[in-house]
Amino acid sequence: MSSVERPSIHSHDQADPADGLFSASSTVKRHRRWPWLVALIVVAVVAFLVFFRSSLGQSNSARAGKQAAPRAVPVVGATARVGDLGVYQNGLGTVTPIKTVTVHSRVDGELDSVAYREGQLVREGDLLAQLDPRPFEVQLHQAEAQLAKDEATLKNARIDLERYKALIAQDSIPRQQLDTQAATVDQDEAAIKSDQAQIESARLNLTYGRITAPISGIVGLRLVDPGNIVRASDQNGLLVITQQQPIAVIFTIAADHLQAVLQQRKAGHELVVEAWDRDFKHKLATGFLLAIDNQIDQSTGTVRMKAQFPNENYALYPNQFVNARLLVDTLHQTVLVPTAAIQRSPQSTYVYVVKPDSTVELRTVDLQLTEGDDTSVRKGLSSGEVVVIDGMDKLQPGTLVVLAKSGGAPQRNP
């Protein structure tokens, strides 16, 4: 039996020449691709860095630009104006009634009734109180009766006198008897006059029993109640009336300013006086200077003055303390600025002036007078210029500012 030789298959031992060629080609392609990928990555990183630096530079440039730009400081300004400013002299004063009357009874008697209310405004002649009139009526009746009796006696004495004159003509009686009768008639006539005086006194006492207001004014608290016996010698009286329309204020000013006041008085000017409350916040009344004391108080160096006020609204009350402002003179057509704009240093007095380009300028000024919220500037400032009245603590010459209305929103400098 002959053997048949079978071909051997070596799938793993011998490689296909085509497969080897393919593997080598793939390897070469992969080696060629890596440099391009690395180059692309490098280009991307470089582009990112360039973009980041550019953005960072722009941001820093913008921030630097913002920091370099000056910031405007908000301030409150006011415009200087031309006007009149009064020259006042101030002094502490006391409200004093022009008339104060303590009402007393002129006769003794029982207080029968009171016809007023405490604190009431009464007019001159109004009934205030009434005493019991009966004792005075009795006195009047007694005086009238005595007068009638003495009139009858006088009539009889005159008849006898006529008879004696007829008898003396006949030489029937002595002359002395006629003279005695004439004296009797004179005595009776004197008694009649005395009786008439008694009647007038009784009527006057009856009138005094009706107590009326001697002046117009405000009645105070009642001092005596009805039912009490009042006497003319009582020290306290029945009530007190104070006149409050018009009313006066007595105040003092420094003696150094007396000549200015006297010159205005000599020129015939009526000086205006204002009464303000103790805090100088509310004006109570306006009046005029009435009188100047005739001497200076050496202990205080002041002189007393008296002003009169109509007091139509009863704003002034007796013994009230007020601040009196005497208008001595008036500055006409002077430059006025708010007092808040004035700043002071050891070297000068100055203000901050806002220029048209919205920057401020430090301006030295010469002041003339400060009165309340206004200050008169003699030189250094013109009407229409804007001065800073609030926000000066952050200002320097040349600072850029933005104006704001007092209590309002900012506004541009015109």
Q: Are residues 230 and 108 in the same domain?
A: yes
- Please confirm whether the linkage preceding 246 is cis (ω < 30° from 0): yes
The CATH number for 144's domain is 1.10.287.470
Q: Are residues 192 and 312 in the same domain?
A: no
Q: Are residues 226 and 127 in the same domain?
A: yes
The answer as to whether 177 is a domain residue is yes
Q: Are strands 401-404 and 73-79 parallel, antiparallel or unpaired?
A: parallel
- Read off the tokens for 179: 């003279």
The CATH number for 301's domain is 2.40.30.170
Pick from 399, 402, 400: nearest CA to 412: 402
Q: Are residues 248 and 342 in the same domain?
A: no
Task: Give the CA distances from residue 100 to residues 96, 140, 244, 360, in Å, rounded to whole numbers and listed in that order.
Answer: 9, 34, 9, 61
Tell me how far apart the alpha carbons of residues 75 and 59 are, in angstroms, rounded to a whole number: 32
Q: Are residues 105 and 232 in the same domain?
A: yes
Residue 320 has a pLDDT of: 94
Pick from 82, 86, 88: nearest CA to 333: 82
Q: Are residues 363 and 291 in the same domain?
A: no
Tell me how far apart the alpha carbons of residues 379 and 367 are, in angstroms, rounded to a whole number: 7
408 phi/psi in degrees, rounded to 5: -125, -165
Q: Are residues 126 and 164 in the same domain?
A: no
Q: Are residues 251 and 308 in the same domain?
A: yes
DSSP 3-state of 54: helix
Residue that is last in its domain, among 330, 365, 391: 330
Tell me how far apart the alpha carbons of residues 277 and 284 are, in angstroms, rounded to a whole number: 7
The answer as to whether 388 is a domain residue is yes
Residue 392 has a pLDDT of: 85
Give the domain extent around 325: 87-98+243-330
Burial 273-309 (b: 16+ CB within 10 A, else e): bbbbeeeeeeebbebebbeeeeeeeeeeebbbbbbbb
Q: With beta carbons less than 8 A apart as the criterion, state whether 70 and 400 touch.
A: yes
Q: Which residue(s) pair with 401 in the sheet?
A: 73
Residue that is last in its domain, among 208, 232, 257: 208
Mean pLDDT by 10 residues, the chain (414 residues): 41 44 47 64 66 57 52 88 90 94 94 94 95 94 94 92 87 87 93 94 94 94 93 92 95 93 91 92 94 93 95 93 93 91 90 91 90 88 91 87 60 42
**Looking at the 3D structure of the chain, how many domains does it have?**
4
The answer as to whether 191 is a domain residue is yes
The answer as to whether 378 is a domain residue is yes
For 324, counting Cβ atoms within 10 Å of its Cβ (0-12 exposed, 13-18 middle, 19+ buried), the class is buried
The CATH number for 389's domain is 2.40.420.20
Q: Could you say which DSSP state residue 355 is in?
A: P
Q: Are residues 182 and 306 in the same domain?
A: no
Q: Are residues 111 and 236 in the same domain?
A: yes
For 258, counting Cβ atoms within 10 Å of its Cβ (0-12 exposed, 13-18 middle, 19+ buried), the class is middle
Residue that is last in its domain, among 158, 184, 208: 208
| DSSP per-residue letters across 160-217 | HHHHHHHHHHTT-S-HHHHHHHHHHHHHHHHHHHHHHHHHHHHHHHHHHTEEE-SS-E
Q: Are residues 149 and 255 in the same domain?
A: no
The CATH number for 107's domain is 2.40.50.100
Residue 20 has a pLDDT of: 46
The answer as to whether 35 is a domain residue is no
The answer as to whether 409 is a domain residue is no
Q: With beta carbons less than 8 A apart as the criterion, state whether 129 and 202 touch.
A: no
The answer as to whether 15 is a domain residue is no
The answer as to whether 52 is a domain residue is no
Q: Which helix (H) or strand (E) holds 141?
A: helix 134-169
Looking at residue 26, its amino acid is S
Pick from 315, 310, 311, 307: nearest CA to 93: 307
Q: Are residues 316 and 340 in the same domain?
A: no
